[in-house]
Chain A
């Protein structure tokens, strides 16, 4: 019965979408297809708008690989291609037969934009059927970040709805979701811990990055696996016309990038490397000088990005990308801690026909940390890993100019090594059991232009998650004792969970400068990050769903109004959202997560919900550009075992979050930039009284997260001075100051006895950074 209904719906749907054909009786469809590229270096441009002057509302977008296909009746047209930061191209066509048309766009300065002919379609934020946070990688180059490092993950936290987890904390919160609810992809490979040095830097070196697309809601059906956001980062392919070397030397780190053609115009490669020498900080170690500990210690991190691509035939292109990064901390040769990610993506783009584009990717992702201790001849090593092997297939079917169908599947084999202990010192510490799981998904979606005013993207994703043996599942009672255990042999599939994830996004385009967009998305998350510390540590544990830990599910509804002013010079938007999260995880009082094979017994489950309103005003052109974003929001949780079952504020509840970003081009050589961030402090649990037990004064807590940390705010300034260009030689100096007015933002608040009066308690605030200046020299030749 259900199958018949599905079949009927499918037929009905196919009939509707092929309406595009019915208008003209003498219709002969002609297909224009090809790639949109940057004329300077051959990099493909994703998200370029391609439309006909004669029919501006039916525009399509180049896909992640720069490919587009437009089906039209034969005739004369003017094709317009537009991409932010590039000169819009206008091409006259007399279409009789299918045409392969690759289009190269020329870069253009944003400041100059104002003077040139306006009236171009820079209203993408209004008319596109997408809910994305649009960050132009070029803009990021001017935004100052700590230690002068350009950091895309830090920059996206300046957008509405995306909030930093805090200084010294890797990760960010999107619309009230936890840090593990963000899917961070580098060329389709998930990066499990995209941060260095406990969150001060991200692993994304801006030299290597071409595009970054952030979804906070209205997720397209091709993405899944995390509840709150998708951050899709794509690497540069490399200049396929000429060789270039670029890099930078800074106070804390240096970078080098080499790119060039493998075969001119056919293939290229790119390699970037970055290393910090934070070893500088080792001088802050106590007992330096006489002690050799500091001398034998190391502290650094590095990132290596590599990508190569080659166009095999007109229909086939191959890519290989790779990322390797590591943080290394070693104290006196005795104690070592290192962690990092390694990802590789091998891709094959293939045109099955002009209308059908396929991408097949084989992805490998590894995150591991290692801890080792050596004393005389005895050593102990603890290793923890999560490994993914992923096969992904995506099809783009450009049915006609009103319908773009996407479908595909994704299958990931996860290996979890929570901790493997190899030791001769601490004989009692045992390894935790490995876990294996298979995460599968298939999806189908259509992006349809229904009328001149109404666009819809609708789709269905179906996901399925199973654990695979060898493995043992324990069942626990209320006091965390094992009551039952079931063991599964190698290869046996058990504890399967899954379900549908419907996705819907509707855009009603009122006119060229205003629109209303609404969306609904259901997402499922099958792997979870366990961390009960206030600060993230490399010891946080990824764990799969099973009978004890059910998959998390979220439903998100959004409604927004988008309006541009003064010929798209100003973009504004207001968006409200409501997100409902099920099967959220929290920890028992006194939970022990480290090296605990019975870790699931330490968890408690409940629900969460968040809602808010996001405002954005953005100036896109002129000497002064930038934006102001303001988010007003609430996030709550409710657990039977916490706070007596009454709802409480989540730690990441941020009632107010403001970012003001400005970039001012003083002259073509000098750009000044400023960033001011403000956000409410985390909700925390502080005592509301005290009492005596066993001779100790014990703090008394009333409710969970009933207090707040002090608000966080800081101002950063940056100045970029571009030297005169000599032949191919370019150089620029970047000066930046982090936290200009040196505010001591609270990192933690500790209650301890007053040293002058031990009977009295006092609150001591620990803050991390005061004012941090930095200089970097960037070069390119």
Chain B
């Protein structure tokens, strides 16, 4: 079993510099008024197909302003069609404003799905290939090493327990998003993204969350295609941008054309649930 910590290193680098800066400066923060332009509302299309039973949802809305209580109007009456490479064509039905559901589409690993949206005389398309399902092999508990780096502060957090997810990575190029839901709330590290370039074909272990006794944790391995993986990665960059050490922000790389925001993805999902008991914590390595 191997420990993969690349993401942790980046966090560590960044947190060190952050502490460094905090120490050096007698810095101060204040809320200021920034005059932002109001861009023309852009169409936002969000569609996700997976290999579980349908129906699958496509949401279409418009972008709004940045500061002033933005309203994101739903886009109604659009023509939304999903086709796959075997010829199945599915015209989605709008059940609520801006929300369209499939009826004939089935998410099957290996197939390529194409979304076509026609709205207000403009057409937007995007494709995604559903990759193979990668099942969660097991979930285990491990003592968190990195608590030893914790710089002062709450001693209660000194002994944190990590939840690790183990799976076998297939021999092809794989991209993953790991979703963890603890006690019915999605863990805020919701863009835990991983690709197999260093561990292709190997039995992989990832640290995915911190848990305490009594938690109910559901871990999902979402197997993505390269485009969707890059979308999430560039989306996470924008959402969790560090103003000091971050790079210049830009809109996420989308597979949709014609200036649409959002994305269309096809993924394979596998889950496993674990209920954390005190005895499990005591036996953690």
Contact = CB atoms under 8 A, between A and B. Distances in A.
Interface of A: 168, 197-198, 200, 278, 281-282, 284-288, 291, 293-294, 299, 329, 331-332, 334-335, 337, 371, 373, 375-376, 378, 425-430, 479, 532-535, 537, 539, 587, 589-591, 594-595, 642, 651, 684-694, 696-702, 704-707, 710, 744, 746-751, 759-770
Nearest to B233: A590
20 contacts: A286-B22, A329-B20, A426-B9, A428-B5, A535-B245, A539-B13, A589-B237, A589-B250, A688-B36, A689-B66, A690-B64, A691-B72, A696-B239, A698-B239, A698-B252, A746-B32, A759-B69, A760-B67, A762-B31, A763-B34
A707 B32 CA distance: 15
Nearest to A702: B39
B251 A595 contact: no
Contacts of B275: none
A698 B5 contact: no
A537 B245 contact: yes
Best-buried of B21, B248, B262 by chain A (most CB within 10 Å): B248
B37 A685 contact: no
A749 B235 CA distance: 19
Interface stretch (B121-129, B145-153, B163-171, B213-221): B145-153
Interface in B178-226: 198-199, 226
Interface string B232-256: 0111011100011111111111000
Given A281-B24, A689-B42, A689-B66, A375 B152 contact: no
B71 to A, nearest CB: 10
A8 B70 CA distance: 74
Contacts of B37: 688, 702, 706
A702 B230 CA distance: 20
Contacts of B234: 589-590
A701 B252 CA distance: 10
Contacts of B247: 532-534, 587, 591
Given A287-B152, A589-B237, A697-B70, 5 more contacts: A198-B21, A375-B148, A428-B198, A684-B248, A688-B39
A428 B2 contact: yes
Interface in B24-59: 24-34, 36-39, 41-42, 44, 46
B265 to A, nearest CB: 10
A748 B6 contact: no
Contact of B243 (A168, A335, A707, A750): A750
A651 B39 CA distance: 22
A750 B151 CA distance: 24
Nearest to A332: B151
B66 A687 contact: yes
B250 to A, nearest CB: 5
A698 B241 CA distance: 11
B248 A651 contact: yes
Contact of A701 (B2, B34, B251): B251
B27 A331 contact: no
B284 interface: no
Nearest to A759: B69
B21 A337 contact: no
A286 B20 contact: no
A320 B262 CA distance: 62
Most buried by B among A426, A539, A694: A694
B2 to A, nearest CB: 6
Contact of A691 (B24, B34, B61): B61
A686 B19 contact: no
A429 B243 contact: no
Give the interface centre of A425, A479, A535, A689 by most chain B CB atoms within 10 Å: A689
